[in-house]
Structure 1
């Protein structure tokens, strides 16, 4: 940390605490106490009203705040909730940066705004994702991919697909140029140009193993903008289901991403879905038990019937 950054950080530290000892500042910024003395003198000469009390430490004169940064209560709450989110969903590096950002935000708030912000935040709660039964390497992969993005380098990994391909394989090696990361319904996805498919593909980070950053570099196409990117919709298979009235509300609340349309009538709730492969719906449909029936296509009705018979054989 250079001197300019340290001077600013000292002012922020003093704003966030009533009294701070030189020894604590030295430990916080990993420097000597003598250096802190010189920094305090430099700040005083620059017009920052710092007072020192022998045996206690340094403090800022009451009413002094570092201009021009100021936040309303709503702005402060929004920023701190964002910090909470980053701490939960990003890798360790970003978690540490989020903690540092929290200290800076809280330090520049006036006493009244800080108190009100704390009160409001206590009435809000951001729950962490449910723990998985098996350990996930999602955050580890997130850190590696983020670094590869910054370095402009390709990555190599083994990918486990949810459904077997035409050869019956569910695991294969991929090399890809990472274009961006997207958080979709609580799961991180990589948008990348796959060397195998010679096109843009999407990969769940939780399904990646043995991920490494390669020496091979790539350049992001000038026309590609992740914020404007809309993936090609190749879900060409239409499925129609009918749910019983007693579970209709639960189906609506499920927000299943394959659902295209819903219509409730006297016979139940009709739901239209579009998928790439029928097996993508198998577990979801079976999970509703006898509360759902497949209206079409007939091939999927038969697939559900076969699976139900196999379940019955196991019992």
Structure 2
């Protein structure tokens, strides 16, 4: 953080907290207490009314405030929750910026709005998967790499792993892609770009990438392409019908599984219809419910389930 940004952040911190010790400011901005003393002198010379009380700390003179930002309580809560989301799902650079943004938003809110927003947020929490897991760290590193590639308009190379049926039936290919955008789909990062291997727009889950590299070759994104308006074609044309026991019906309803097309309560249980590209995409999800779920159709998928269960039995 440069000096100008730090000076503004100090004013926001004083406005938000009232009285702050130099030691706390030094810890907050990862600098020395002596530097904070110099910053306070610089603010005073810039006519910011800083009040310093030995043994207590620094504060702003009563009545001084930065120009207010007019947020309703709902707007403030939305922005703060959005900042929490960025902290959880984005790479380290944007995590830090999200924290700084949240502090600035909280600092400039009128007291009554800040108090009401804090009361609402006290009863809300955004939970996510373990942010320190190896897979999560790798995904965030790839987000950072791809974001830089898009800023520089340079193509990327990576290995891509794609399941075709079971866990033992995977294909890995090398891809060169011009990245057009990043999106979070069902909680996972996905890159959209022009794939040279397939000769068109393709989606790639970042969790299935490896050895991601930025190439020297540049590209130009089509002028007509708009990520916000783009809607990928849904090529899931095969249907799988299942019957789930009542004992697991609620858990299936709560799963928000991507491939579920419809669900219908029935006297024998829950009728579930999945829409897939190929049945292998849902093989392990179905097996994960054990004897609590039965495949009704297609018969080819029932055979696939039987074969997988037989292979599992051999291991035991």
Q: TM-score, normalised by structure 2?
A: 0.85
Count of residues in correspondence between the two structures: 309
- Contact 2:156–2:213 (CA<8 Å) still a contact in 1? yes
Find the aligned partners of 2:116 and 2:102 in 1 and give their Cα distance: 16
CA deviation vs aligned residue, 1:168-226 (integer Å, no higher than 9, x gap): 76222111011111112221111111111111111111111111111211122122111
- Contact 1:174–1:194 (CA<8 Å) still a contact in 2? yes
- Contact 1:192–1:200 (CA<8 Å) still a contact in 2? yes
Find the aligned partners of 2:25 and 2:295 in 1 and give their Cα distance: 67
- Contact 1:154–1:214 (CA<8 Å) still a contact in 2? yes
- Can you give the 5+ residue segments of structure 1 that lack an aligned partner in the other structure? none
The aligned runs of 1:1-315 (5 Å cut-off) are 8-20=8-20, 28=29, 33-34=37-38, 36-44=40-48, 49-53=49-53, 58-130=58-130, 135-136=135-136, 137-163=138-164, 170-315=171-316
Find the aligned partners of 1:188 and 1:50 in 2 and give their Cα distance: 45
Q: TM-score, normalised by structure 1?
A: 0.85
Find the aligned partners of 2:3 and 2:75 in 1 and give their Cα distance: 30
CA deviation vs aligned residue, 1:252-298 (integer Å, no higher than 9, x gap): 22222112222222233222222111111211111222222222211
Find the aligned partners of 1:131 and 1:14 in 2 and give their Cα distance: 31
Offset, 1:238: 1.9
- Contact 2:155–2:215 (CA<8 Å) still a contact in 1? yes
Find the aligned partners of 1:301 and 1:20 in 2 and give their Cα distance: 67
Find the aligned partners of 2:197 and 2:260 in 1 and give their Cα distance: 30
Offset, 1:3: 7.6
Find the aligned partners of 1:60 and 1:284 in 2 and give their Cα distance: 58
Find the aligned partners of 1:252 and 1:23 in 2 and give their Cα distance: 52
- Can you give the 5+ residue segments of structure 2 that lack an aligned partner in the other structure? none
Q: CA RMSD in A?
A: 3.0
